[in-house]
A and B are shown apart, each in its own frame.
Chain A
Amino acid sequence: MIHPKLHYLELFRVGEPELDTLVGEALKHGGDYCDLYFENTTYGNLSLRDGAVTAGGRHIDYGVGIRVLNGERTGYAYAESTAMPDMLESARAASAIADGTSAFYEHSVQADANGSRLVGRRFRGEPNPAADRYPVHVHWRETEASALIPFLQKLEQAVQGRDSRIVKVMVMLAWQVTDVLMYNSLRELKYETRPMASVGVTVIFQQGGQVENKTVSRSYRTGVEMLTESLIEEMAAQAVQGIDDRFAARRPKGGQMPVVMGAGASGILLHEAMGHAFEADFNRKGTSIFSDKMGQRVCAQGIQIIDDGTLKGNRGALNFDDEGVPGQKTYMVEDGILTSYLHDRISARHYGVSPTGNGRRESFRYAPIPRMRATYMESGQASPADIIASVPQGIYVDEFANGQVKIGEGDFTFFVKSGYLIEGGRLTAPVKDINIIGNGPEALRNMVAVGNDLAIDPGTWTCGKEQSVPVSCGIPTVLIQNLTVGGE
């Protein structure tokens, strides 16, 4: 959603001359670059428990973050008021990073032509509503809770009737709308309004003395129009899907074995075990396992790994990142070769490349750092059935939780919520509560088959690297030849 520029200037009670004044103050003692990030976010939430929507609320977060870069060093401060004296105080606090030896504001603008001591290219032009990646038809802020409550009730009822073992159903709707205005010492002015909404349903089942739970979620950058009857049907069906197998599932015998990752949510492995290691700040600091792998083969020919901010309505979509750099589709791995890290302006300058639109932040309280958007692997040639049939003995997994990776070593551990044994090329007994352990670069090298069924998971994925930002992930069915499966 993109309103006219005046809407944002009035919202934040600033004029364009004041923006220049703030940047000038922040760079008064030196520094190469300054940016301002104004934010006005409204959060709303409703939750249904024990059959009734009895909890809800709204929350407002408003302020401006001011960043000064001195080389690759960052000074950051923010104000929760956009009164000029408060913002000037923050600008002075952010300027503490400067040591008085760097270029002044006017010099840095003039130096843009040859790029010396500058953060990077300019991104000219005004935001274009026609190219908006998150159009909204029915606005969250203008919708009363009374208009949203029936959706939660219908979803709860749609789930309740599907399985006699259900003992509890909880439904949650959370939305937020964020107005942002960004300005920097390159005199780039960007503004937009970002919607985000998530629906979640958690179901607790009981069979005899055994209790199982399942959570299903959907999250999009869109308006109230996402709350449809078809979404209720889709989520209710998924909430009870496979629950018989969940009750029957056991921990299998562990060991080293081939692992087939099902399409969709298994993409979290790509995000955690590979994507983070491609974020350029880890590489700039020398902490990533991929720090010295640029231009080298990291997996088999034919594999493409992408981080994409251009998927309309996707949880990871961005018209602009939080540094005002246009959202884009970035190929990190092309035909098996590592071709790009994910950059913010600092790392782009360090590596002498253009920023990739990955400079993101949780809110105006944080300086941006390289973050993923929608991370996925492109489809390959193999059919999923053929991939499973090629495995004499192994594990098929289709739902993960609690993945964790050590960026420096690349070691990862993922908890598998559901999956199946593969025996003689066929899915047999259901399994659960196992861990898959491996190493990111090794797992990439051992990826020997890629299916033709890429699915981007629509769930509420949030990445927690220092700050929380919304992301999404996806993957086709893939076969990793050898991973450690922790079982009985």
Chain B
Amino acid sequence: MSEMTPPTGSGPLARREARLAWSLLAPTLFAVAAVVILPLLAVFWISFKPVALADLRAPAPVVREDLRGRPEAAGDEATVRYRLRNSSQDQVVADVVLTDTWTEGLTVLEMDPRCTLQGTAFRCEFGDWEGGFRDQLTIPVTVEQAYFDNGAEVDETEVVITGKAQSVLTSNEFTLENFAAIFDGQEFWNVLWVTLFYTVVGTVGALVTGLFAAMLLNHSFMGQGILRGLYLFPYVAPVIAVAFAWLLLLDPFSGSLNALLVQMGVTDQPINFFGQRPLALFTVTGFEIWRYFPLSFLFILARMQSIDTDMYEAADMDGASPFQKFWYLSLPMLLGILSVLFLLRFIWTFNKFDDIFLLTGGNAGTRTLTVNVYEQAFALSNIGAGAAVAVVIFGCLLLFSAFFFKFISREEGL
């Protein structure tokens, strides 16, 4: 009798199930690949390229046509003029060809050697243009009666000019300049320090504030539901609306808060909350805490409400004081959710862009890494450097997530 062995490999049923699973996942995989994976690869690619904002438009030949000499009667002489240039200052455009349809009634006196005219079809071959190339093509003509009969203008038909140009984005040109530029000097370390401060203080602040808010609402009383809804407002409202409300509230010249502080005698003169060097960073971090404490509050409250009350009753019997109950009972029970929230919020705060961008635009010492991406790419028009910063961010995130998964899989059994 042969020995019984468990089946190896996957049976037809299992294979069918896997096939179905993959086909259900396919649309998501496809979409995510197109919008997340591809752009990420593109960022890596661009970060090694000397690309400026202007290079996004590939260099192309440009032409303008007009008829000079104002012919008034048949037999007058005039000049058909094409003004030619290369749109790029430093890129070559190869194999430039110009085609145009002339109106009837123009007789060529002297043809440019690069051009031919067959019937009304006009065609020129210019070869390669260097970057910054400029030229004028003039063709003297005599105007005949047919021209005036037609009543057409010379520039009525569209001139077509084509050329082959290589975009920097697809060329084989690579450089490490972008990385050199962003790592250069004190500025990068400043940005990194600001990012770290913002992330750590913002995360811890939001957690602690959320914990307090959750403790406040972990009782049933009249109006608890209303307060809970109210405390979620900062998170639910559009960031742009609340950011502008804060800007207005804290405005140094006509802000209500400054008026209030001056009136109460706290300060003599208005405080420039978003313009002074260390203060702006604190204010921006305060905004981050204000906006995201509701999230931690919500999670912590949900966890608190699921803690068994028996434990507290037992503690009461043993004569534990309120602070002891919090320290020895509640906090250990909340440790799991707190650490998960910390990791999640840490990464999200690190990624945050809109808040600082709207509040200070990264000025007054509040430029974090994410704001730096925008600053380099769009304010300084250096897309390559922006991508290089993005690569640095991505590197940091990989580091965090490696840590995160090691930790969270223990916490949450993911």
The answer to whether A and B interact is no
